[in-house]
A = this chain, B = another copy of it.
Amino acid sequence: MATTIERSGEYKVIGTRPIRPDGVDKVTGRAKYAADGPVAGLLYGKTLRSPHAHALIKSIDVSRALKLPGVRAVVTSKDLPQAPDEPVSLGEGPMVNLRFLSANILAQGKVLYKGHAVASVAADSVNIAEEALALIDVEYEVLPPVMTALEAMKEGAAILHENLTTTSLGKNTGKVSNIATQSQFSAGDVEKGFKESDLVIEREFTTPTVHQGYIEPQSVTALWNTDGEITIWTSTQGHFGIRQNSAAVLGVPVSQVRVIPMEIGGGFGAKTTFYFEPPAAIMSRKTGRPVKMTMTRAEVLEATGPGSGSYTRVKMGVKKDGQIVAAQAYLAFEAGAFPGSAVNAGAMCMLNMYNIENILIDANDVVVNKPKSAAYRAPGSPQATFAVECVVDEICEQLGMDPLEFRLKNASKEGDRQASGVPFGRIGNIETLMAAKDSPHYNAPLEGKYRGRGIASGFWFNGGMQSSCNIAVNPDGTVGLVEGSVDIGGTRAAIAMQAAEVLGLAMEDVHAVVADTSSVGYTAVTGGSRTTFATGWAAYEAALDVIGQMKERVSKLWETSVDEVEFNDAVFTRKGNPEQQVTFKQLSGRLMETGGPLVGKSTVSPRGVGAAFAHHIVDVEVDPETGKVDILRYTALQDVGKAIHPSYVEGQMQGGASQGIGWAINEEYFYNDKGLMANASFLDYRMPTSLDLPMIDTIMVEVPNPGHPYGVRGVGEVCIVPPLAAIANAISHAIGVRMYDLPMNPGRVLAAVLKKEKL
């Protein structure tokens, strides 16, 4: 069931559900993914990876590998023009630390996780390359692995980076430690708040390392031409970012690198970073041939960027009437082998559903011997919010309050202060909570033993950043739209629709093309729920530019001033003389006689990003004999601003919920005592399939974002924030006992049931 609660204006194109332009190519297998890159003269690259979670590299000898017939090149970190091996303190450095970026791509002196790349080989075939890997002699000195944030923070823990000193509250402490950064977000006085509270609850939570689970493994082909130009075909969410970072790691100007984004088989944040681009490029330079590197699934799991494992402690104090007086949180997130930023985002999101006078959040970014985590849909927020929303549920239980009433009582609204200190603009938190209260699901009874209903909420900022578009008018009155945003969720359609709305055209008349870094203006990553918002805005502006120029053409035809020409519904009319008309289509056929071809363009850096709220309702049933959790019914509610293409918004909401369900009840990186992942396959790393899930109902609540011409808010990320707690809360209501650690897999749930029933 999919419901829309509309609060926005009348549109002709926006809000309809046309078929996406890439649909046919994708269902017929014609869409070109990175593995379908160029083929002539290819070499195939494979990567030797660390078998250890933590070890010094004493030596690497590639001579035997190079002698194998068919081997063309080998690359190790020595081939990268590394940043100097200076002390690193992140508070004072650039946002992206070049040395860490390089060292994650090819290990420098140390391997920091199982699967860490040590060397790559380019050969005439994949088989020869794999054979050559076995001929590379690496001498390791194995070190003790450090696998969790709490363990890594202990005095005496093995240190990953001897030159990394902790930055605390923006200042370099000078102390070498596994804690990269310590941040704090506060308001009011929590101690005073707890004293004024009638009920104070404090709990500890953990979540495991989880993977985004995109279908398409990373694949890259790089060609370093003899004139110095480097072309990279890759699967990425942001080709301009890949250009920037590849250039930095390779030590060449960005203009020397052209990145061609292929269709992408899922990313969820993980494909904002990169692994194979620099080594493939270097091996191409060495051989003069294009080098293709494609990961196996095990490599994807062990050596790309999963979502952070986390430890979070939350303490909340409330009045009897349910008003939250104070909230305190302590977060220690596993950044993986190199520093990250998810913990800060999580810290800044976790309490934003509520307006709380006194807050204090301490966030620790901690390096451990796991792959460097990458963004995963609202990075940091699901883990942190899981803790808050479980505590809120326990408070509601103890106060005997309806969880939606509790949330409505404390709900944040326009003008309230976010954890970051910035006040909220127009947000739809309350409207969405009201819709949840009114929803069929929430008003349906749930009966039966071992069944429970859970509620949880979530927040995500959404992003803005820069986008560029060009629109060229065709002689038949259609237009071509060139945009720089990789399409990972139907954005070609959603962006084209915003141009179509301005131009008075059907979406099908706006032919959208995603262009490479050389062929369109700078456009930031497809991520942060920014694409439909910002690139859509760019399309809107480019369309306005087209109309402005077309008005000039009309004014010439009619020998009048531009001000006399009005445009409405694909027709230009003369002010005060509506009989004098020329349609967009007619004028398109007369461009050559009125001044030549016509192209509109835009570059935008929009402010006015609208934040997003989601509230999820879930019913579960627990099998007391096995501990298996079945999802009986699931409803995702979300303030979507204005749904440009409702089907794709619903798809995002359902997708976020699905991934959250997996995270809640099954997914985890399972490590043995040597720090080695034991389940690096999709058989053993169990993600939900369609058979595991009910139809996920959606209720889109449209509270238009006044900061966007059509009221767009990002919709792709906040939907993964509530499921973790919603399911945890539902399970606790089903079995009558609270659990604090994810995943709530059959073993753990069964143990809880047995403990509760004292069996």
Task: Give A residues with C-beta under 8 Å from B.
Answer: 19, 21, 23-25, 28, 30, 36, 39-41, 223, 225-227, 229, 244, 247, 253-255, 258, 288, 466-468, 470, 472, 474-476, 478-480, 482, 509, 511, 513, 515, 517-523, 591-592, 595-599, 601, 603-605
> Which B residue sits closest to A595, measured CB to CB?
B605
Alpha-carbon separation in the docked complex, A226 to B26 (Å): 12
- Count copies of this chain in the complex: 2
**With A25-B225, A482-B520 given, can you name 19 additional A-B contacts, CB distance below 8 Å?**
A23-B227, A24-B225, A30-B223, A36-B40, A254-B475, A254-B478, A255-B478, A255-B480, A255-B509, A468-B472, A470-B520, A480-B518, A511-B518, A519-B519, A521-B598, A522-B597, A595-B605, A596-B604, A599-B601
Q: Is the CB of A597 within 8 A of B521?
A: yes
User: Known interface pairs A24-B225, A225-B25. Does A601 touch B601 (Cβ–Cβ under 8 Å)?
Assistant: yes
A253 to B: closest C-beta gap in Å: 4
- Contact in complex: B522, A518 (CB < 8 Å): no
By a CB distance below 8 angstroms, the chain B residues around A288 are: 28
Measured between beta carbons, the chain B residues less than 8 angstroms from A598 are 521, 603
Contacts of A476 in B (CB 8 A): 247, 253-255
Q: Across the two chains, which residue of chain B brings its CB closest to A534?
A: B596
The distance in angstroms between the C-alpha atoms of A149 and B361, with both chains bound, is 92
For the complex, give the distance between the alpha carbons of A459 and B517 in Å: 42
Which residues of chain B are within 8 angstroms of A595 by Cβ–Cβ distance? 605
A36–B23 Cα gap in the complex (Å)? 26
Nearest to A549 among chain B residues (CB) is B603
List B contacts of A36 (CB < 8 A): 40
List B contacts of A599 (CB < 8 A): 468, 470, 520-521, 601, 603
Interchain CA distance A598-B24 in the complex, whole Å:
34
Give chain B nearest CB distance to A564 CB in angstroms: 24
Q: List 13 A-B contacts (CB under 8 A).
A: A24-B225, A30-B41, A255-B479, A255-B509, A466-B596, A468-B472, A468-B599, A470-B601, A480-B519, A513-B518, A519-B519, A595-B605, A599-B603
Q: Across the interface, do B19 and A227 meet the contact criterion of CB distance under 8 Å? A: yes
Residues of B contacting A19 in the complex (Cβ-Cβ under 8 angstroms):
227
3 interchain residue pairs of minimum CB distance: A596-B605, A255-B478, A522-B597
Who on chain B is nearest to A252 by CB?
Answer: B476
Q: How far is the CA of A636 from the CA of B24 in the complex (A)?
A: 55
Q: How far is the CB of A529 from chain B (nearest CB, A)?
A: 19
Taken together as a complex, chains A and B put the C-alpha atoms of A366 and B472 apart, in Å, by 39
**A24-B227, A30-B225, A255-B511 are contacts. A518–B482 as well, Cβ < 8 Å?**
yes
A479 nearest CB neighbor, chain B only: B255
Check A517 against B480 for contact (C-beta < 8 Å).
yes
Chain B nearest CB, measured from A33 CB (Å): 11
User: Closest approach, in angstroms, between the C-beta of A540 and any C-beta of chain B?
Assistant: 15
Measured CA separation A568–B581 after assembly (Å): 45
| Alpha-carbon distance between A71 and B518 when the two chains are bound, in angstroms | 41
| Residues on B with beta carbons closer than 8 Å to the beta carbon of A30 | 40-41, 223, 225
Complex CA distance for A595 and B604, rounded to whole angstroms: 8
A557 and B678 CA atoms in complex are apart in Å by 56
For the complex, give the distance between the alpha carbons of A168 and B23 in Å: 53
Instruction: For A511, list chain B residues within 8 Å (CB).
Output: 255, 258, 518
**Structural contact, A226 and B28, CB atoms closer than 8 A:** yes
Contacts of A226 in B (CB 8 A): 24, 28
Of chain B, the residue at the smallest CB distance from A253 is: B476
Q: Which one of B253, B482, B513, B597 lies within 8 Å of A523 (CB-CB)?
A: B597
Q: Shortest beta-carbon distance, A491 to chain B, in Å?
A: 17
Shortest Cβ gap from A498 to chain B (Å): 18
Distance between A312 CB and nearest chain B CB, rounded to angstroms? 34
Tell me the nearest residue of chain B to A225, going by C-beta: B24
Inter-chain CA distance A522–B472, complex, in Å, is 7
The CA-CA distance from A488 to B758 in the complex, in Å, is: 84
A255 to B468: give the CA distance in the assembly, Å.
22
Docked CA distance A23–B226 (Å): 10
CB distance from A447 to the nearest CB of B (A): 48
Give bound CA distance, A478 to B39, whole Å: 30
A475 to B475, CA, bound (A): 35
* Nearest B residue (CB) for A594: B605
CA distance A227 to B598 in the complex (A): 27
**Residue ID in chain B nearest A41 by CB atoms:** B30
Name the residue in A24, A255, A509 with the highest tally of chain B Cβ atoms < 10 Å from its Cβ.
Answer: A255
Q: Is there an interface contact between B523 and A519, defined as CB atoms closer than 8 Å?
A: no
Q: Find the B residue at minimum CB distance from A522.
A: B597
CA distance A278 to B255 in the complex (A): 39
For A596, list chain B residues within 8 Å (CB): 466, 522, 603-605
The answer to whether A520 touches B28 (Cβ under 8 A) is no
A244-B475, A518-B482 known; A466-B592 Cβ under 8 A: yes
Do B509 and A519 touch (CB < 8 A)? no
Given the interface contacts A36-B40, A225-B30, A466-B597, does A474 sit within 8 Å of B254 by beta carbon? Answer: yes
Closest beta carbon of chain B to A670's beta carbon, Å = 38
A476 to B36, CA, bound (A): 31
Q: Give Cα A476 to B225, complex, Å.
A: 20
> How many whole Å from A565's CB to the nearest CB in chain B?
19
Chain B residues with CB under 8 A of A520 = 470, 472, 482, 599
**Known A-B contacts A253-B478, A599-B603, A603-B599; A472 and B521 likewise in contact (beta carbons under 8 Å):** yes
The residues of B that contact A523 with a CB separation of less than 8 Å are 597
Alpha-carbon distance A25/B225, docked complex (angstroms): 8
Closest residue of chain B to A509, judged by CB? B255
When C-beta atoms are compared, the residue in chain B nearest to A482 turns out to be: B519
Contacts of A24 in B (CB 8 A): 225-227, 229
- Could you tell me the distance in whole angstroms from the C-beta of A707 to the nearest C-beta in chain B? 16
Cα distance A466–B597 in the bound complex, in angstroms = 7
Which residues of B are found within 8 Å of A474, using beta-carbon distances? 254-255, 522
B residues within 8 A CB of A603? 596-599
Contacts of A25 in B (CB 8 A): 225
Closest to A591 in B: B522
Q: Using Cβ atoms and an 8 Å threshold, which residues of chain B touch A521?
A: 470, 472, 597-599
Distance, CA A332 to CA B604, complexed state (A): 59
Which residues of chain B come closer than 8 Å to A253, judged between CB atoms?
A: 476, 478
Which residues of B have CB within 8 Å of A513?
Answer: 518-519
CB proximity of A284 to chain B, nearest CB, Å: 11
| Cα A671 to Cα B227 with chains together (Å) | 48
